[in-house]
């Protein structure tokens, strides 16, 4: 009887893990559409980030209220989530500005330098190096990213500012993910995202006004789609998935975004996508399959 119950529990755990990984992939797919929608918005770049958060906020707060039953979360966890919100606001501001000064593939790839930083963070935390399938997944993922970057990047002063801002955004996003992963041990997903979002809104509005950007849009469609895909679906699935995976897995799945963004840039803005780009995207896809396979015990460092 006990053995049967153990098998049932193991099967339930495997099913839960598959759903969690699917949510992580889905969140990254939704987030990968963000750069294209920012390019289509007719407001300033920071203003589009403000509307992304503001339009999504009522829905996020409703979900947060339903999952918490109206109970106030612990203050220490609220403080961490609020600090995470500041990092996220700065990430969005720098990344949205960067999108308008470089190619979509560049902005998304440099903005997702968090993939490498999270892998390094995981190595630092565990004091172990990836081995077996995990090591191969890391090699394939970064080889694919290097191919994507090498093909999409052009040595031009026109792109330098956008690339540097996107790189800074990636560093800020890494801090956001680490803080949100930490707080998710205490806060439910929509509650954590709701607190961070509330903090984001005034920071982004103040930044947009200080930069003299156009705030009110003429066409709301890109902004509504940005809020629903990037914030509600993308961030919602990401935050729900965070405590279920190591920084290594989280980092590698972020590489979905530049692969899909490169395809979107090709289809929507005629940003060339060649055979090498496609091969790089296939390497990233292979890495995502391998990272879910069992690995030999990691080597301590």
Higher per-residue confidence, 85 vs 108: 85
Residue 276 has pLDDT above 50, yes or no: yes
What is the reported pLDDT for 127?
A: 62
Q: Classify burial at 157, counting beta carbons within 10 Å of its beta carbon; exposed 0-12, middle 13-18, buried 19 or more.
A: exposed
Task: Give 203-238 pLDDT, tens digit per residue.
Answer: 999 999 999 999 999 999 999 999 999 999 998 898
Task: Give 14-36 pLDDT, tens digit per residue.
Answer: 455 678 888 888 888 888 888 88
Residue 301 has pLDDT above 60, yes or no: no
What is the reported pLDDT for 273?
A: 59
Higher per-residue confidence, 76 vs 185: 76
Two tokens at 268?
Answer: 């929507």
Higher per-residue confidence, 234 vs 185: 234
Mark out the alpha helices in the chain (DSSP H runs): 2-31, 34-40, 45-68, 75-99, 104-111, 114-126, 132-152, 157-183, 189-210, 221-226, 236-241, 247-253, 256-269, 275-290
Beta carbons of 181 and 243 less than 8 angstroms apart? yes
Torsion of the alpha carbons at 109, 202, 61 and 53, rounded to the nearest 10: -30
What is the reported pLDDT for 182?
A: 87
Residue 298 has pLDDT above 50, yes or no: no
CA gap 240, 227 in Å, rounded: 17
Higher per-residue confidence, 121 vs 156: 121
């Amino acid at each position: 009887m006990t053995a049967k119950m153990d098998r049932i529990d193991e099967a339930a755990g495997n099913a839960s893990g598959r759903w969690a990984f699917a949510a992580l992939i889905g969140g990254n797919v939704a987030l990968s559409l963000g750069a294209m929608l920012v390019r289509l918005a007719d407001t300033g770049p920071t203003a589009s980030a403000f509307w992304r958060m503001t339009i999504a906020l009522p829905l996020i707060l409703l979900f947060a209220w339903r999952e918490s039953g109206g109970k106030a979360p612990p203050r220490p966890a609220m403080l961490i989530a609020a600090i995470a919100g500041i990092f996220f606001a700065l990430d969005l501001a720098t990344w949205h500005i960067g999108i308008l000064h470089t190619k979509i593939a560049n902005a998304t790839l440099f903005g997702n330098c968090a993939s490498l930083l999270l892998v390094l963070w995981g190595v630092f935390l565990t004091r172990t190096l990836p081995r077996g399938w995990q090591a191969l997944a890391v090699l394939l993922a970064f080889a694919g990213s290097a191919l994507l970057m090498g093909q999409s990047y052009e040595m031009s002063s026109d792109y330098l500012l956008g690339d540097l801002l996107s790189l800074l955004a990636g560093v800020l996003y890494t801090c956001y993910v680490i803080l949100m992963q930490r707080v998710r041990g205490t806060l439910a997903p929509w509650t954590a995202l709701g607190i961070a979002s509330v903090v984001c809104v005034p920071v982004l509005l103040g930044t947009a006004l200080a930069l003299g950007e156009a705030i009110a849009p003429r066409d709301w469609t890109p902004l509504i789609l940005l809020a629903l895909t990037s914030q509600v679906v993308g961030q919602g699935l990401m935050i729900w998935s965070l405590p279920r995976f190591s920084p290594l897995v989280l980092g590698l799945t972020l590489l979905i975004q530049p692969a899909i963004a490169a395809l979107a840039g090709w289809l929507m803005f005629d940003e060339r996508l060649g055979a090498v780009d496609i091969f790089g995207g296939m390497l990233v896809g292979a890495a995502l399959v391998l990272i879910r396979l069992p690995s030999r015990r990691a080597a301590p460092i």
